[in-house]
Structure 1
């Protein structure tokens, strides 16, 4: 029997447990990796685990390279002189070095490889500006870090990341990863500021920009919030999310919602604990946003043969349309697809291997892992990584629906049968197969960010 009992579905559809936890997390405010707010968030998750009757609930601490934001500014000079220093206009990107730089501005549009190649030698000694957009024609999403790496490798001395969504304010996001600080100063600007810069850069008169960044890169500690449900087996299904969020944001969808979903699914599974054949390990990671440090800590301290698979939740509450990235692991999609069919729920699946999200720490080692999110109306991250990732953008009905689907899928993985739909076809892959499947752009990004694990 792999179908979640009807009484549990009814519980999921009427529960306020997850939404209450999400509300408490966003009310903490700043949950930046290594901050007091991140620890308070993890402690609140542990409290939720305990309230749900889960066992072994607690915190697991580890060291990280911390980053603290100061003031930032960007100044335009040329046909128009304009200075921007408000946080609604410009913010530093975590992992950037502190300092000042002034240089000609080169706009590389959406930051594709083709756009960088077309810019050629112009980028040497310049400030490169790239949009957060990925063209619809592109075969995969282009991450901010890849655009940053491309700029630095071509001799740029500064990087401007402009939002492609109007009204969403400046985007933030890590650029240093495990090689902090990154090689060149980097800031995010709003679409409105970036549009002015792009318009002037396209004119006949030369345009210069000055970037000023005050920040600190210093060691600190972070925590994972952990608990267990189900039988006391050595092997476990890992259900994960991350509790940290960027300091400019409440981190509602990215990823307070994921943390709330992990605790809610754990609560639901506790009501059918005796049905489970495999332990489910619940983990809300710290420090995802600055380099997946919490996930790497778990992957490095847990024997790989004790991890059956990983279901990672990130950005999973901006709709009820489930999106599953399987990272090329056959057998991981079928239980989700079966659940979606049973509940007549929409679902998208993709196979591309991506190093973005906590599941990557396990994928790189050949451990079956999916990224579970939801597909919203906006392209890219939507409100994520901006000041506007707030609770009012989300709907408790969406949270309940996603909790129902994820609980039903996790139940299948923890009670595997003989067929793929029941979670019985999940297999680890050789590490060298994963290495051979990684797109070249991601290889470049991982090497520059100090996260390349294969050499």
Structure 2
């Protein structure tokens, strides 16, 4: 008996009550079986376990990211995806080097910190200078020009926890623009309180940006306990002197790429339902929650459909984006490469917020939202009140009119681990991964078989 026949004969034993449905919303036996097989399987977890164990960290533009692409190509083929390929692009490379810091006076002690992605290095022997303290990034912005000549700026400011990560944007301003604002005022270097919500002695890295018209200065992030310690010393009214030495380096143009695999549609193969995640990670941990989990969730969802012998009407495309951490470069590369066929992308979404189960569904469409609402009902998830661009790497194509949705995962503790050495596989619950796989598999299947034009009311806004 074939796989498809197996699905149809066994689904009759799956009760409506198992998925919280009353049978009135168009769900059928195949839909129920997708949920059942996803929740009882380990497909998604096995993929993230393999990626983080056999490859490990995957810094964009490095040999490790190249090995991750090769690993993902092999895995996509192994699980049965079709048209597996790498779409290459080039990025500006960057690698970490020596990174040390210490308070020289008044209370000598070592500090734990890490360079931010894209930072320039200190001079070879490091920098030793007095600290000038700004409680928040806004305080630095409000400071007069000049007055910081030769000083090391310390920017604090705590990030607030929230299920949707709402505190990240405000807290991240110091990481993105701290070096520019301090450099404008004559500073020689910047240290920031890590953009995170934990109390562990692990600094959080992340990409920063330089303005074209300001000379670049080094910038690094202190772990939260070290930032606390520095604040306490400063509150004693003493002049604090720090020695800082970070030696990252730019490595020139380096290869990256997006890995793609498909379940080719049976009736409208040119129409695409895209589910994605990003393959690269920062180099401090093994990129389990960010974003090995997303690769496992999306590829695992496709694997569920393949194992059941299901062939959707539209093509389901799985994309493992490269170089997300350093500026969504894979997302922009995909948008540009597929500019002429974005009108055939009927729906797109991404998993890039860890491995916790979703708690609501966000809509980036109005036409055809009934299909997504049915999926949300099957998962016992409410529809959120906010819109969505589908995820970081989906954003560039969303601005060109591609319709989106997103499963909003519970990220209350996500930023405890984000961009730290603590982002490792032991933080992932296999049952949570399975619940995410169920959501993506059902949504992709329903969207790929819908007659709906999701594109209505999603105009091109990328002007």
Q: TM-score range by the shorter chain?
A: 0.7 to 0.9
Q: Which one of the candidate residues 260, 269, 273 is aligned to 1:237?
A: 273
Deviation string, structure 1 residues 356-401 (Cα, Å, up to 9, x no partner): 82122223334333454521442x6221110111111110000000
SS at match of 2:58: coil
Quickly say closer, same or farther: Cα 1:186–1:278, change in 2 above 3 A: same
1:161 to 2:192 alignment: yes
In the other structure, the counterpart of 2:15 is none
1:268 to 2:304 alignment: yes
SS at match of 2:97: strand
Distance (Å, rounded) in 2 between the aligned partners of 1:169 and 1:274: 45
Distance (Å, rounded) in 1 between the aligned partners of 2:177 and 2:369: 33
| Distance apart, 1:68 and its partner CA | 1.0
1:393 to 2:427 alignment: yes
In the other structure, the counterpart of 1:92 is 115
| Distance apart, 1:348 and its partner CA | 5.2
Q: For the Cα contact (< 8 Å) 1:173–1:246, is it kept in 2?
A: yes
1:200 to 2:238 alignment: no
Q: Which one of the candidate residues 125, 130, 143 is aligned to 2:156?
A: 130
Quickly say closer, same or farther: Cα 1:330–1:97, change in 2 above 3 A: farther
1:339 to 2:339 alignment: no
Quickly say closer, same or farther: Cα 1:38–1:367, change in 2 above 3 A: same
Quickly say closer, same or farther: Cα 1:168–1:329, change in 2 above 3 A: farther
Distance (Å, rounded) in 2 between the aligned partners of 1:132 and 1:210: 24
1:29 to 2:56 alignment: yes
Q: Which one of the candidate residues 343, 348, 353 is aligned to 1:305?
A: 343
Distance (Å, rounded) in 1 between the aligned partners of 2:58 and 2:425: 15
In the other structure, the counterpart of 1:384 is 418
| Distance apart, 1:332 and its partner CA | 8.6
Q: For the Cα contact (< 8 Å) 1:63–1:220, is it kept in 2?
A: yes
The 5-angstrom pairing of residues 426-437 of structure 1 reads 427-431=457-461
1:358 to 2:404 alignment: no
Distance (Å, rounded) in 2 between the aligned partners of 1:182 and 1:299: 32
Distance (Å, rounded) in 1 between the aligned partners of 2:433 and 2:358: 11
Q: For the Cα contact (< 8 Å) 2:177–2:209, is it kept in 1?
A: no
The 5-angstrom pairing of residues 311-322 of structure 1 reads 311-317=349-355, 319-322=356-359
| Distance apart, 1:95 and its partner CA | 0.5
Larger radius of gyration between Structure 1 and Structure 2: 2
With 383-392 and 101-110 compared, the bigger mean Cα shift is at: 101-110
Deviation string, structure 1 residues 221-248 (Cα, Å, up to 9, x no partner): 1122111113163231211101111111
Q: Which one of the candidate residues 276, 288, 301 is aligned to 2:324?
A: 288
SS at match of 1:97: coil
Q: For the Cα contact (< 8 Å) 2:362–2:406, is it kept in 1?
A: yes
Q: For the Cα contact (< 8 Å) 1:248–1:387, is it kept in 2?
A: yes
In the other structure, the counterpart of 2:12 is none
**Structure 2 runs not aligned, ≥5 long:** 1-25
Q: Which one of the candidate residues 204, 214, 222 is aligned to 2:256?
A: 222
| Distance apart, 1:117 and its partner CA | 4.6
Distance (Å, rounded) in 1 between the aligned partners of 2:96 and 2:143: 31
Distance (Å, rounded) in 1 between the aligned partners of 2:369 and 2:296: 23
1:190 to 2:223 alignment: yes
Q: For the Cα contact (< 8 Å) 2:57–2:64, is it kept in 1?
A: yes
Corresponding residue pairs, total: 417
| Distance apart, 1:144 and its partner CA | 5.8
Distance (Å, rounded) in 2 between the aligned partners of 1:121 and 1:186: 19
RMSD over aligned CA atoms reads 3.2
Quickly say closer, same or farther: Cα 1:190–1:62, change in 2 above 3 A: same
With 70-79 and 217-226 compared, the bigger mean Cα shift is at: 70-79
| Distance apart, 1:253 and its partner CA | 0.8
Distance (Å, rounded) in 2 between the aligned partners of 1:295 and 1:22: 21
Distance (Å, rounded) in 2 between the aligned partners of 1:108 and 1:416: 54
Q: For the Cα contact (< 8 Å) 2:203–2:420, is it kept in 1?
A: yes
1:20 to 2:46 alignment: yes
Distance (Å, rounded) in 2 between the aligned partners of 1:90 and 1:346: 40
Distance (Å, rounded) in 2 between the aligned partners of 1:425 and 1:118: 44
| Distance apart, 1:83 and its partner CA | 3.2
**Structure 1 runs not aligned, ≥5 long:** 433-453
In the other structure, the counterpart of 1:403 is 437
Distance (Å, rounded) in 2 between the aligned partners of 1:250 and 1:333: 37
| Distance apart, 1:212 and its partner CA | 1.4
